[in-house]
Amino acid sequence: MYFGKGYGIYEQNGKKIAVINLIGRTDMNVLSENPFIIVSDILKEIENKADIIIVDFHAEATAEKIAMGYFLDGKVNVIFGTHTHVQTADEKILDKGTAYITDIGMTGPEKSVIGMDISASIKRFETTLPERYKLAEGKNMLNGCIFEINDRTNQIEKVIRVNR
């Protein structure tokens, strides 16, 4: 079995929306169950209980995220990757109708190393010693995606990447 429930089902405007959170295994340095098996178990558990299914896949490796996208194509409405903080420009609707983006990006300081103070981050890489995480300051950016879903059919109609 795995820790936590891994999903929630929420009602909005008469629609039941399942949100599933998964964690990848490649280069994550955490002990976790196989996300491909976990999501299959969750999908069986929520079968016929949700109108729309959205998956947040928190993973380091783009290959693992891409593989999960194809694995879930046609089984969920939306899958987006998180964790690397750098938005990818590969938003699309896959062959079986699932909306996909490898990494949705971050919201935070624009001049930073994934949100961290640049000098502190460089020092960590130069010395290989631990350095206190310090949040960068300055102008912020906003990354994300808008997934347009047909109200009648629950099919994805459009994916719009947001980068401001």
> What does the pLDDT look like over 83-124, one tens digit per residue?
989 999 999 999 999 999 999 999 999 999 989 999 999 999
Q: What is the spatial order of strands in the sheet that 107-109 belongs to? A: 107-109, 140-149, 156-163
In a domain, 55, yes or no: yes
- Rg over CA atoms, the chain: 17
Q: Quick one: average pLDDT of 46-72?
A: 97
Q: How confident is the model at residue 3 (pLDDT cuts 50, 70, 90)?
A: low
100 in Cβ contact with 69 (< 8 Å): yes
Domain harbouring 20, CATH code: 3.60.21.10
In a domain, 1, yes or no: no
Given this model, what pLDDT does residue 16 score? 98
In a domain, 2, yes or no: no
Token readout for 101 is 């983006």
In a domain, 25, yes or no: yes
Number of domains in the chain: 1
Q: How confident is the model at residue 2 (pLDDT cuts 50, 70, 90)?
A: very low
Given this model, what pLDDT does residue 28 score? 80
* Domain range enclosing 125: 7-163
Q: Quick one: average pLDDT of 134-154?
A: 95
Record the pTM. Answer: 0.90
7 in Cβ contact with 19 (< 8 Å): yes
Given this model, what pLDDT does residue 100 score? 98
Among 94, 98, 116, smallest CA distance to 43 is for 98
